[in-house]
Chains A and B, each alone.
Chain A
């Protein structure tokens, strides 16, 4: 038994040392990356000082042409949307931005499934992009809210770089990466992939009723609190599918309660079922994104939301 305990303890110690060294090295490497997804993430968390910030999911990332917004409104804009993420990541990123400066305007693209609908209890996927920033002000508590064991897991340097280390090594040493985008905006080039759409389908279906997620709702309210004093605007960008607008009720209520503008392009006949503007059922292609950004700017001007 004694031999067993000594050997197991030695093994744990050895792993702990290697883990700390690995975590340290990967931390330094990822900080220095300025291209690809990590570079974009570093930009958002450490560098940008733009007036207008776009938050949201892939629908934000691929729909809001930040350069066009900057040029049209005369205020700098950065697209901080992230594929597969919603309010939890957006809240974390907002905290990091507020540590450095306060943006004048926040455009938040609402994606109900990521922002307040119940999709099961696994929120870990939303933490992926925040792992490297765990030590920053307020970020650690997001991890503890999602899973209290993250407090212990995040002590491991290797775990902090779980799934991202290979990509970061390739980017750092070989310089191979995906496009960082134009001011964070990553257009989806190409035409509609008709195989990816189903005729007659609705985006969101209320036949079984909607289940709201109290955890995401809590973060939505936290986000509202933190963006107080800034010009917050909720936007729903176009979809190829018709959308059941009942799904937007919670956000409509929030907007009414807090006097926040909601600009809703879902079910806009210009876009619905219009293959020219889409890459798939939920994402605009580059042409559609430019058209939508143009329409959004017009709508923002019409609603006079930039008269601070």
Chain B
């Protein structure tokens, strides 16, 4: 059940009330209730998916105990990771590997093709698989003690706010909150959570889904549009994917907060990143953290020769590309980011030692680089990506820009404008022009009402899908 669906708006207050009906001293009952709700909501997608979730939970739970209790820690970790990756491999990557292998074999004159698997990918599989592998790595590197209580661990993996599209939580953040006695109700946290849900909803339905109307129109039949329209569509696609994913994450964190939990921060105004390295400190932070701890550090991180360090950076982003999807486009996207990071490291551009003019120029360059890489992220194949790039830079095409019709245009401008203004304020003047956190109750409430009204009148309803839920 996605957060911007009508069903969730009805179901969540019921979950909220029932959760707080259970006294705080019955911590275990509260956890049991949350586990029950998490599985119940997950089953809504497809009941058999929950078996995969349960299987991954059981494998990683026992593997973590084995890592702690045996001498063959590395072997246990390897087996555990391989078993955990098995469902992800079959559901997400089997067809891709099978097709590519067959094509390769055909080139060398061998004809062999296994039948493809026509299975729908279980919702959130990449997220809970990576979260559980992160947990195993933490136990192996002794950053986390293996959890003895199966229910607590099962809730950590299946916790409904974050199972669909993250954040990929660290065990060290969530498990202690599940194990310790939580206060009955934290007013400040609950209000904070509702504000996050409200703004997250605005980002999703007013900005992302509205912008999507333009982006999808142009990019789904890009041959009908000029190169400049395609360029504009990609600039807007960057806004769309940010509003979509950050909006979802904000709602997930907000839902967690209303229930008294702190989840991992996932976005920190990535549009204002001054380098690609800085971008990855602000974009999908929970995945970047996971990659750092589970791929980059085990490969040797920066504690090796410069050359090895560059290789490690590149490989980390190669894995990031694969994680996003079974398609060469994602791999190319990951490689572009890896390449940019290596170049920045070599030239020292990962830091920003310039004044505001220099910083502004770097922010614009980084934004354009990220937008360019997203061509590969968005297009269905490398051929399409190549074709749209050549179209974008084709001097023979007219410079006309396709302008969306009313009512999309004013709503798009309003939504994107407000999002950029808010992020600008948060980034450069966090203590000024406070609206949702203003001391005056009237200003605060007026802001809440205005945001809710904008959602109702300018939101796009009926599109209950999040881009990152597909990963």
Q: Which residues of A contact B (CB under 8 A)?
A: 1, 3-4, 8, 11, 14-15, 18-19, 22, 122, 124-125, 147, 149, 152-153, 156, 158-159, 161-167, 170, 178, 195-196, 198, 280
Contact = CB atoms under 8 A, between A and B. Distances in A.
B411 A166 contact: yes
B185 interface: yes
Contact of A4 (B185, B226, B448, B458): B185
7 contacts: A4-B185, A14-B445, A15-B449, A18-B453, A149-B7, A163-B458, A195-B397
A107 to B, nearest CB: 26
Nearest to B462: A124
Contact of A162 (B410, B448, B457): B457
Binding site secondary structure of chain A: helix
B223 A156 contact: no
Given A1-B184, A18-B449, A122 B411 contact: no
Contact of B20 (A1, A156, A170, A196): A1
A162 B226 CA distance: 31
A15 B452 contact: yes
A196 B224 CA distance: 4
Interface of B: 6-7, 20, 184-185, 187, 190-191, 194, 223-226, 397, 406-407, 410-411, 445, 448-449, 452-453, 456-463
Contacts of A170: 406
B461 A162 contact: yes
A14 B194 CA distance: 16
B196 to A, nearest CB: 15
B315 to A, nearest CB: 38
Contacts of A195: 223-226, 397
Contacts of B445: 11, 14
Nearest to A149: B6
Given A3-B187, A167-B407, A161 B457 contact: yes
A164 B411 CA distance: 10
B6 to A, nearest CB: 4
Nearest to A159: B456
Nearest to B414: A166
Nearest to A36: B406
B99 to A, nearest CB: 18
A195 B228 CA distance: 14
A283 to B, nearest CB: 12
B168 to A, nearest CB: 29
B457 A165 contact: yes
Given A11-B445, A153-B6, A195-B226, A1 B457 contact: no
Nearest to A37: B406
A11 B436 CA distance: 14
A62 B397 CA distance: 28
Given A163-B457, A196-B224, 16 more contacts: A1-B20, A1-B184, A3-B187, A4-B185, A14-B449, A15-B452, A122-B462, A124-B461, A147-B462, A161-B457, A162-B457, A166-B457, A166-B458, A167-B407, A170-B406, A198-B223
Contacts of A149: 6-7
A15 B223 CA distance: 45
A158 B7 contact: no
Contacts of B184: 1
A53 B7 CA distance: 39
